[in-house]
Amino acid sequence: MQTLFWIGLLFAVGYAAGLLSERFRLPKVTGYLLTGLLLSPSVSGILPLSFMEGSREIVHFALAVIAFMIGGSLKLDKIRKLEKSIIAIMLGESELAFLTVWAGMVFGLTFLLPGKGEDVVMITALFLGAISAATAPAAVLAVIHQFRARGPLTLTILGVVATDDAVALINFSIVLGIASTLMGLTDAPLFVSLISPFVGIAVSLACGIAAGWLQGLHLRYVASESALVISSAAVLLLLYGSMDTFGFDGLLAAMAYGMTLVNSSARSDVLFLTIRHHFEEMIFVLFFLISGATMELEVMAQVWPVALLYVGLRLMGKVAGSRVGARLSGAPEAVRMHIGPALMPQAGVALGLALILYHHPEFGAIGTTVLNTVIAATVVNELVGPLLLKQMLVRAGEVEEKR
């Protein structure tokens, strides 16, 4: 029963935080995160550790719905003109962020972590570079929906964040294989480590597409809105849960499920509108308040120079890479000039990859350094990122602000 009390408290304070955010024309995400931080065990201690430790399933449920909604926003008839730009920008911002963070961290860590060997510095920088490609889809979707953003920049952002997490996963898996080989931690051939992430992504996409196609057929025989939501939610949770159980990418599968469904069934429009109007904000309140409550100021205080360097290098890489991709693909000027800073938010996927490394004890201090750096950087990226995203959408003229 205590869990229900804490969830009720989160809804109450989240409602108040949302009203205050709207009053000052701030992204609600920022208000939710700050409120969660104030309630956290590391600040006020209002939310107990027992609740935080048991909130994992709530977070995963929210992530599944958010990924599904992002996929559902990618109608092919809307993004077809921007398809080339989305791919070019996604590859540019992901890989240039990787290279920028890697190169900058090799130089910076030499001074910020004195006494570490060259191999440790190089491998730490490689992992941080790989993780830097990921963007937080939840914060992006929340800001776009709050301010009713529409236009080429909005569609391009949604397309990019729906795919660059897959690039981060590929980068991370390749770096993990290379690092394991360099440190003599595995006997497996290097090509096996390089191929495995592509197999995992292919399986996740195939399962998501199959689920979307089958559910699209089923929706032809569903009449009521409640039945639309219940049946689609059942497929979503079974899909996401099975991917997680067997070690595949649940987020990517959920996005593929949503995108396939919205493009294969006319009835899906009613489904996504129902979720957006009646359930989406509840999901955002729980997810971002809990996310804010997991932030640890003590960790940031310990590694703040490394974390701030990571944040700055990642943003530089995202801005430069997205502009290169936009220019090469002939993207509209509004996209070319504004998309880079809009990709600053980073949280769940990056933290997940850092935790995977941390749970490889053979990497020792490398895993600890990477995890603490990503946790500290998340505080900055999730608090400042939504503000930057909103500003870019406003400058591009794609925001409908309430007067």
C-alpha distances out from residue 220 to 216, 260, 263, Å? 7, 15, 14
Query: CA-CA distances (angstroms) from residue 208 to 201, 258, 390?
Result: 11, 8, 30
> Rounded to whole angstroms, what are the CA distances from 39 to 44, 48, 84, 122, 130?
6, 9, 44, 37, 32
- Would you tell me how many other CB atoms lie within 10 Å of the CB of residue 301? 9
Structure tokens at 308: 């701030």
Could you tell me the mean pLDDT of each successive run of 10 residues in the chain, 403 residues long? 87 92 83 88 87 84 86 80 87 94 92 78 92 86 88 90 81 81 64 72 92 93 87 95 87 90 88 86 88 76 87 95 92 90 85 78 82 84 89 89 52
Q: What does the pLDDT read at residue 370?
A: 87
Give the pLDDT of residue 162: 79
- Rounded Cα–Cα distance for residues 2 and 56 (Å): 16
Whether residue 253 contacts residue 301, with contact meaning beta carbons closer than 8 Å, is answered with: no
DSSP codes joined into one string, 54-99: T-HHHHHHHHHHHHHHHHHT--HHHHGGGHHHHHHHHHHHHHHHHH
Global pTM reads 0.79
Amino acid 142: pLDDT: 86
Q: Which ranges in 184-249 belong to alpha helices (H)?
A: 190-219, 225-245
DSSP line for 294-314: T--HHHHHHHHHHHHHHHHHH
Backbone angle region of 137, left / alpha / beta, with phi > 0 → left and psi within -120 to 50 → alpha? alpha
Instruction: For residues 2 and 51, give the distance between their C-alpha atoms in angstroms, rounded to a whole number.
Output: 8
Give the pLDDT of residue 14: 92
pLDDT at 5: 92
197's tokens: 């992430």
Please state, in angstroms and rounded to a whole number, the distance separating the CA atoms of residues 298 and 14.
Answer: 24
